[in-house]
Amino acid sequence: MLTIGWIMLGVAALAAAENTFCPDGNYTSATVPTSAHKLKVGDIKVVAGMGDSGTAANGAESTQLFDIMTQYRGRSFSTGGASSYNDGLTTLPNILRLFNPHLRGYSTGVGDENSPTANLNVAQFGALSSQMKLQAELLIKRMKADPKINIDEDWKMVTLLTGGNDICRACANVSLYPASMFRANIEAALDVLQEGSPRTIVNLLEVFDITNLMKVMPLQPSCQEAMKIKLCPCPPGSDGSELSALSKEYQRALVNLINTGKYNRKPDFTVVIQPFLGNVPTTETGEPDMSFFTPDCFHLSTKGHSAAGVSLWNTMLRRKSKKHRAFNHPEQPMCPTTRYIPTQVNYS
């Protein structure tokens, strides 16, 4: 009896330790919600990611420039489920698993979008916004093929981040990658998700202004080798100012698209803009903090992905008027302060 008592005590202690920063609170609905606007964090059963090398976590664990092509998807801020929250990897899935330990869809290993451990991270290195529609179709196909996922009944959280490669290519000729085309590409992808993935909430991330990094790279000794590899095909003498303006146009294009209300027409689907990548982490002097980046001074390191995971989580839990526009660090995950995950409909 004593042994059984100790076992039961251990099980209880383990259960209590699962959610270490929000141990008290009602974070899962008593019955499965039918509305995306009455969704709690514990209701999320599946996570997925779309985008480019930012979501693929290129070079996250790299210490050498030549390793940047390695995709550490298990450490991706939006879909990485390697290690755990308690081990310090504070990605969105690892935080969500504190509320639902049976979460599915997250990546756990190293490899491209077709590797077995990529799971529902369908992001592709070098992808443009024009490829998001195909990624949406692939994502739906994978969810339908997974016997452990009920695409009609399970609530899904998809995080979409794209636009960086469009903006880089635009440096050679801005007119070839206008904001109107970017908006049309995102709309096409979201239309596919809305039609084929019921019970879904999409985190639509704004692209960050890469010119902040372009300006500081020449001043960072650690970036000298990386500068030999042109990140963007800008003409000689360009300071990237045209890209900064285009980044803002892309951000406005996303806001205008979502403000049409097109993605609130079905009760079980919605899209929420999460603007926390508007600015990169900075030092006390206001310069980009390169410790959050890989040796190419462009992609996020594991430290950067952990910080981005917390920022995504915290921004996701804030009402539209209170969402952060900066990639904050140090920052701790917050406990939900609203009854439901904020959307355009339930909290303005």
Give start and end residues of each alpha helix (H) in the chain.
2-17, 53-56, 92-96, 132-145, 164-170, 179-196, 211-216, 224-227, 241-259, 302-316
Beta strand 44-51 pairing with 269-274: unpaired
Catalytic residue, chosen from 37, 43, 53, 76, is 53
Q: How far apart are CA 239 and CA 254, in angstroms?
A: 25
Catalytic residue, chosen from 43, 154, 166, 289, is 166
Neighbours of 28 (CB within 10 A): 13
Q: How far apart are CA 58 and CA 277, in angstroms?
A: 17
CA 302 to chain centre: 14
Catalytic residue, chosen from 43, 62, 129, 299, is 299
Is 299 marked active-site?
Answer: yes
Using left for φ > 0, alpha for ψ between -120 and 50, and beta otherwise, residue 240 falls in: left
Tell me the one-letter amino acid at 70.
T
DSSP at 335: P
Beta strand 155-161 pairing with 269-274: unpaired
Q: How far apart are CA 181 and CA 185, in angstroms?
A: 6
The burial class, CB within 10 Å (0-12 / 13-18 / 19+), for 188 is middle
Q: Catalytic site residues?
A: 53, 166, 299
